[in-house]
Chain A
Amino acid sequence: MKLLKPSWVNHNGKPIFSVDIHPEGSKFATGGQGEDSGKVVIWNMAPVLREEDEKNENIPKMLCQMDNHLGGDDKLVMVWKRAAYIGPSTVFGSSSKLANVEQWRCVTILRNHTGDVMDVAWSPHDVWLASCSVDNTIVIWNARKFPEIVTLLKGHTGLVKGLTWDPVGKYIASQADDRSLKVWRTMDWQLETNITKPFNECGGTTHVLRLSWSPDGQYLVSAHAMNNSGPTAQIIERDGWRTNMDFVGHRKAVTVVKFNPKIFKKKQKNGSSQKPSCPYCCCAVGSKDRSVSVWLTSLKRPLVVIHDLFDKSIMDIAWTLNGLGILVCSMDGTVAFLDFSQDELGDPLNEDEKNSIHQNIYGKSLAITTEAQLSTTIIENPEMLKYQQEKGPVEHHNAADHETQAPKLTSVVNGESLEDIRKNLLKKQVETRTADGRRRITPLCIAQLDTGDFSPALFNSVPILPGSSMSSQLTPQLSSDSNTANSLGLRPASDPPLAPQGKAPDAAAESSVNPLGTGAAPAVNSNNIKPNLLLTSAAKIEPMKALDSRFTERSKATPGVTISSSAVGLTMLDRMKDGGPLKDPKPKEETSSDSEDKMAVTKLSFTKRKGEVEGPEVVEKKKKGRPRKDTKMTPVSHAVQQVTPSLEKETSRVAAPSAAMKLPTVTLQKVFSLQISVESSVFVEVENEVSTVGGVRFSQLRCTREGREWDTLLTSRILTVAGSSEVIAVACEDRTLSVLSACGRRLLPAILLPAPVSALHCSGSFVMVLTACATLSVWDVKKQVILVRNVSLLTILSGTDTTVSQSLLTQQGVPVISLSNGRSYCFNSSLETWNLIADKQDSLVQCADFRNFLPSQDPMVSSGPLAIMQGRTLNAGRLASRLSSTPHHLQQGMTLAYLENQLASALILRSSQEYRHWLLIYARFLVNEGAEHRLRELCKDLLGPVHKSAGSIWEDTVLGLRKRDLLREVLPVIGQNLRFQRVFTEYQDQLELLRNK
C-alpha cells in the first residue's frame, strides 16, 4: 500500500466535508468551505496517481472552482454539468488568478429542503437523485426531469446525515441522528424496515453518518453504531435485515463507511492448487478518531488501519473506479490517497462476473445491465446487423463533420462574429428610456444556457478597442506589480489562456495573437506609469486605506432603492445651490482664467442634467410602442434572444390600426434562430438564400433536437418556423406552408395559404396559422383533419384600434388569441364560437376573493394556457381585501361568478390540470359559503347515473379526468363542513356502491 497526502488539494486550510471521484476516473471533486460560502473544487486525478504528472507544470491540478453555494442559502441541491466549448477563464475578481481549466455550469437548482442538505446520492442507472437534510426528510428527485420530485421520504425524527442506494436499485437506506437507520422500498417508496437496536446507545453527534451498501447488495453497513459501549459500524444483512455482525475497533464514532465498487476474488497464486474461493467485498471505514480502516469481508480482522493520518475527524471516503485506491478527506482540510495493489486486495471481478453474481442472487429482472454489456450483445436479426454495420462509419463521419463546424457556429451570433459584435456593442445595443426617464439597456444575449455552446473566444479579459492602441491594455498588468519575476509568473493566467484549446476557432486565434504582437510595448509604458503610481500611493497610503472600505461596504450613497437619473441630476443641482465645493460661480469666473475651464465643464453638465430632467416628455413617446413586459407573456414557441426583433413583438407593434382587418406579416430575416419547444430543447436555425446552384436559391432549415441535428432545404425564403415535439411547420415567403415531422421528414406537400402568414404555432400534432387577412386555421396534421376552417377574427377585433397582441395554441389544439385591449379569446371548434377567457379589465378578477380556498400544497397552476393568458391571478384578492367594506353577499357573488368563469374557461380550453385546480377551489368555496344547490348539482354531474341506462348521455370523463375520481377529491372538502354531512354520506355511499360493482 502506498500513501500520499497531496498538499495541493486543499480549501486554503478550511475543512473539506466531502470527496468524490468522477465515474470516468480522471478527476475528483472536493466539497468544503470557501471564503464566505460553500465551495466545490474539481481536481485532476492524474497528478495524484502519478508523481511525474504531479511535477509536470503543464498538467493542471485544479480544474474548476465552483463558488456559488452562498452561505446561509444552503437548502439547495445544485446539479452541475460540464459546459462544452468554453475556454478556460478565471473567476472574475478572484485575484488568485488561477484559471478554471474546465467550465462547469449549474444546470438545475433543486429546492425543497428547508434545512441544510447533508448528503446526496445518485441511484443505480442515474434514474433518481436522493438528498437528505437536517429538515429530517429525504427527497427523491427525478434525475431525468429535474427539478421534478418523485417523492418525499418522511419518517426520521432527527437530522438525516447519510444515504445509500441498494446497488440493484430496490432500496434506499438512510441514517439519521434519531438513532435509526431506515430502509425504504423504491417500488412504492414506503418504509421497508426501521433499525434502531444497534443505535440505542449512540450518544453525541457526528457531522455525517455516511452508510454504504456492498456492491453485491448483500450487506448494508451503517455509520456510527454502538455495541457494548464501543463504537462500531453495524453490518445489516439484506436477508431479513439481521444485525449480527459489526466492524469493531475504532475508538470514536464511525463517520463514514464506503464499500469498494468492485467484488474481489482471491489472487490466484502460481502453483498452488486452485479451489474456487468465495468472492468477497472490501470496505473502508473512517472515524472521528481520525483513523481509517480497510476491511475485506473474507477476513475477520481489518486489512489495514491507518492512525494519525489527519488532525481531525474523517469526513468522507471515495474509491477509485478500479477499486484499488481511496481518497479520504478530513475536517482538517486535507486529503489523503491510499493506493493498494491487487496482491493486497485480490483480483477484481469484471463487470460480467459481477453481473452474473447479481443475476444469481436477484434474477435477471433486477440485474444491472451496463452499457458495456450492451455492446457485447449478440445481434440476432440479420437486418439489424446490417444497420449496425452501416451505422458505424456514418457516426464517424458525423463526428468529424461536427468538429469542423462547431467552432464556426459557436463564435457566431446571428451571422456576426462575437469579436465584431463587441466592437460595435455600444452603438448597437438597444437603449430606451422608461416612463420615468431612466436609461434601460437590453443586454445582448450571447449564449443560451441550455445549449452548452458558449463562445470560447470571449472571456479573455483583453478588451477590444477599435481606436486605441494595444499598449493601453497592457498597462494595468504592468502597474500591478513592481516585482518582474512575480508578474511574469502571473502573466499566463491573466492572459487569455487559449492555448490548451485544441480547436480554437478563428476568432480565438485572432485574439490570442494580441499579447504576442504587443510584447514590445510594456517597456515604454512601464516607465511613465510605475514610478508615478509608487509616488502617489506612497503619499496617499492613508486615504487608500479609506478607499478600500468602499469596495466591500454597501454605500449609504447607493441605497437599494432605485434612484432615477433625473433624481440624480436634481440632487446634484441641489448640492450646487447649497454652495458645496463650488460656492458662487460668478465671482470665481471673473477671478481666474483657470476656473473658467472648470466652470464650462460644470455648466455643461448642468445643462445636460437639466435636459434630462425635462426629457421624459419626449422620451415617453418613443417608449409607447414598447410595453416592457411583452416578453414575459411570450407563449410556448418563443423567439430566442438572438432574433433581434422577436416575431411576436413584431406582430403586436407594427400593426397598423387603420387597415382594420389586416394583421402584420412576418418580416423576412436572412438568418434567424428560434427555440421552438421549451420542454425538450429544440432549436431551429434558418438561413435564407444559403446557396445558389445555377441561379436557383435555397433556404436552409437546421434543427437541433436534444443534441441531434437535421437539416432540410426549401426553395422559397423562410419567414417563420414553429414546432412541437411531433411536427415542425415552416411558412415561406411564397405563402406556402410546409409540415415536417420531428425528424425532418415532409408530411404533406406544401400547403398554399390564402394570405401571407402573420403567426404560426404548433403544438402536438396541431398546426395553427393566423394569416395577414385576420383569418385563423387549425389542422391536426396527424389525423389530417381541419379543426378550425379559415375563421375570421372580425368578431373579436371589434374596436377600431384593437389588434392581436399574442396568439397561442394549447396542447389540446385550442387556438387562443389575445388582443391589445387586454381580452383573450379561444375558438371552440365544436360550437364554432369565440369564447372570452380572459379580460384584464374584468372587475370580477379584481374583486373576487378566493385566497382562502387556494390549496395549501398544490402550487398555483402557472403553466396552463389559462394562466398564461390571464397572467398571475394571485393578485386577484388584493383588491378584494381593500374592498372589505363591500357587503359580503356582493363579494360572494363576484367570487362565485369569477370561479365559475375560470372553470368554464379551463373546460373550453381543454386544460385538464387547470380544470381540476379550479374545480377544487370552486368546491371549497361552495362548501364554505354553504351554496348547497350548486354543490349538489356539481356532485351529481361528477357522479353520473348509478345505474347506466341506454339513453344516458353522461360521460364518465371530463378532459381525460375521470369524473368519479374528481368527486373522490371533492368529497373530503365537503366533509369539512358539518352542514353538508348529508351530501357527504350520500355521495360517499354511492361512490362506494359503484366501486363494489
Chain B
Amino acid sequence: MAKVQVLNVAVLDNPSPFGNPFQFEITFECMEDLPEDLEWKIIYVGSAESEEYDQILDSVLVGPVPAGRHMFVFQADAPNTGLIPESDAVGVTVVLITCTYRGQEFIRIGYYVNNEYTDPELRENPPLKPDYSQLQRNILASNPRVTRFHINWEGCAERMEDSENVDPAPNAMLPPSCPAGKAPSLGLMPDNSMDCL
C-alpha cells in the first residue's frame, strides 16, 4: 500500500513563454509520518528519439512529511535550450514529474507539452534555428498520465529488486488530439484513455 498518494497537480503559469520556469502545485496525502524526505524531480524530455536528451530541470527534497494532507509548489527553471536538438524544439514533447522515496520511484506524472510560435508568421514559416524567445509552452494540464510503481516503503531499494519487474498499468496512451482513424485497436486501450475516443 502506497504511503503517499498524489491528490492533485495544478499546472501554474500555463501557457507561458518558453523561458519561464515550470511551476507545479502538488497536493499529496501521506498515510503516516515519513522518516525520510520525498524527492521530487522535474524531467524535460528534450527529444522523443532518445532519453539522452532528457534534462532533469531540478530536484527537491520535500520534508518533513507527517501524516496528513500537504501541498507545495515545485518551481524549476526552463530547460537548457542548448541541450535540445533543434529539430525537436517546436512541437509536442513531454515533461515528467517523478517522486522517489528512499531512492525508489513510486509515481511518475507525465504531461504533454506543446511548444509553438505564437506569431502566425513564424508558425507558417518556422526559422531553421528555433527562436526560443518567440516560443510558447503549453502544458496539457487536463491530461496528466499517472503511473504508480510499487515500492518498498519500509526499506531501501535493494530489497525491492523483484518489484522492478512489476509492470505498471498498461498506459499506451494516445496523443491528446489524435485522429480517430489512427487509434489503436480497442483491446489495447487502457480504461483511462477513454477521453481520447
Contacts and interface: CB of A to CB of B under 8 A. Distances in A.
A890 interface: no
B10 to A, nearest CB: 4
B1 A109 contact: yes
B155 interface: no
A532 B169 CA distance: 30
A475 B15 contact: yes
B66 A479 contact: no
B27 A458 contact: yes
Interface stretch (A227-235, A537-545, A806-814): A537-545
Contacts of B148: 70
Interface in B10-54: 10-15, 19, 23, 25, 27-31, 35, 37, 39, 41, 43, 45, 47-49, 51, 54
Interface in A514-541: 529-530, 532-534, 536-541
Interface in B48-73: 48-49, 51, 54-56, 58-73
B68 A477 contact: no
B40 to A, nearest CB: 8
Nearest to A438: B61
Interface string A452-475: 001000110111110110001101
A472 to B, nearest CB: 6
A547 B46 CA distance: 10
B68 A449 contact: yes
A632 interface: yes
Given A530-B177, A601-B82, A592 B129 contact: yes
Nearest to B46: A581
A489 to B, nearest CB: 10
Interface in A15-49: 35-36
Contacts, number: 328
A450 B31 CA distance: 10
Contacts of A426: 12, 23, 73, 75
Interface in B119-172: 123, 127, 129, 131-133, 138-150, 157, 163-164, 166-172
Interface string A628-658: 1001100000000100000000000000000
Contacts of A434: 61
A716 interface: no
Contact of A560 (B35, B104, B108, B112): B104
Interface stretch (A183-191, A572-580, A693-701): A572-580
Contacts of B74: 441
Given A563-B56, A581-B83, 12 more contacts: A73-B150, A442-B63, A443-B63, A444-B71, A533-B92, A544-B92, A547-B94, A548-B173, A555-B96, A555-B98, A560-B100, A568-B58
Interface of A: 12, 35-36, 68-73, 76, 78, 89, 92-97, 106, 109, 422, 425-426, 429, 431, 434, 438-450, 454, 458-459, 461-465, 467-468, 472-473, 475-477, 479-482, 486, 490, 494, 529-530, 532-534, 536-541, 543-544, 546-548, 550-552, 554-558, 560-565, 568, 572, 575-576, 580-582, 592, 594-595, 597-598, 601-602, 605, 608, 628, 631-632, 641
25 contacts: A35-B192, A76-B1, A95-B195, A96-B194, A422-B71, A440-B37, A444-B70, A461-B8, A461-B141, A479-B176, A480-B176, A481-B195, A533-B114, A539-B91, A543-B88, A548-B171, A550-B51, A551-B173, A552-B147, A563-B56, A568-B58, A568-B59, A581-B83, A602-B80, A641-B68
Interface of B: 1-2, 5-15, 19, 23, 25, 27-31, 35, 37, 39, 41, 43, 45, 47-49, 51, 54-56, 58-75, 77, 80-86, 88, 90-94, 96, 98, 100, 103-105, 108-110, 112, 114, 116, 123, 127, 129, 131-133, 138-150, 157, 163-164, 166-173, 175-179, 182, 190-197
